[in-house]
């Protein structure tokens, strides 16, 4: 079980690292001048690869988490409301991951309507989600 926990943590950490950096690429894409096609193409390629990589990391992270939850019963039973809160945060992170994919497709189509400042704020959301998840798992306030 400790190996599964360790792998879960490693995959989650790597997944979040990608989710921290992908919106930063969006900030750069929003600042690319219209006449700089090579720069835009390079940033889009980087974003595509990073989104694919974070998706590949998310799958085992979720599988190991489900294994711990369903297989070992971690977070089940009375006094484990923290697990329900954590699962809510996980759903929010999955939604954020999906939103990144939607935004990237808009960049590919040239339909970006947002400023680099908006993407800077969007970039802060996974930090808040990660802090919430860590508090729920380590402190278990419920």
pTM score above 0.75: yes
CB atoms within 10 A of CB 141: 9
Report pLDDT for 73: 75
CA pair distance 84, 44, nearest whole angstrom: 36
Is the pLDDT at 76 greater than 80? The verdict is no
Alpha-carbon distance 99 to 80, whole Å? 30
Averaged over 106-127, what is the pLDDT? 94
pLDDT, position 34: 86
Residue percentage of the chain with pLDDT more than 70: 100
Number of domains in the chain: 1
Full domain range(s) for residue 10 = 2-138
> Is residue 49's pLDDT more than 90?
yes
Annotated binding-site residue? 84: no
Rounded to 10 deg, the angle between the 81-109 and 2-31 helix axes is: 30
**Predicted local distance difference test score (pLDDT) of residue 118:** 96
């Amino acid at each position: 079980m400790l190996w599964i926990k360790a792998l879960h943590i490693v995959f989650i950490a790597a997944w979040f690292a990608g989710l921290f950096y992908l919106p930063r690429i969006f900030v750069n894409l929003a600042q690319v001048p219209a006449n700089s096609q090579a720069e835009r193409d390079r940033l889009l390629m980087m974003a595509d690869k990073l989104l694919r990589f974070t998706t590949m990391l998310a799958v085992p992270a979720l599988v190991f988490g489900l294994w711990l939850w369903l297989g070992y019963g971690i977070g089940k039973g009375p006094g484990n409301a923290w697990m329900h809160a954590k699962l809510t945060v996980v759903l929010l992170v999955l939604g954020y991951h999906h939103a990144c994919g939607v935004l990237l497709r808009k960049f590919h189509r040239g339909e970006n309507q947002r400023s680099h400042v908006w993407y800077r704020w969007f970039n802060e959301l996974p930090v808040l989600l990660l802090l919430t998840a860590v508090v729920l798992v380590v402190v278990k306030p419920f």
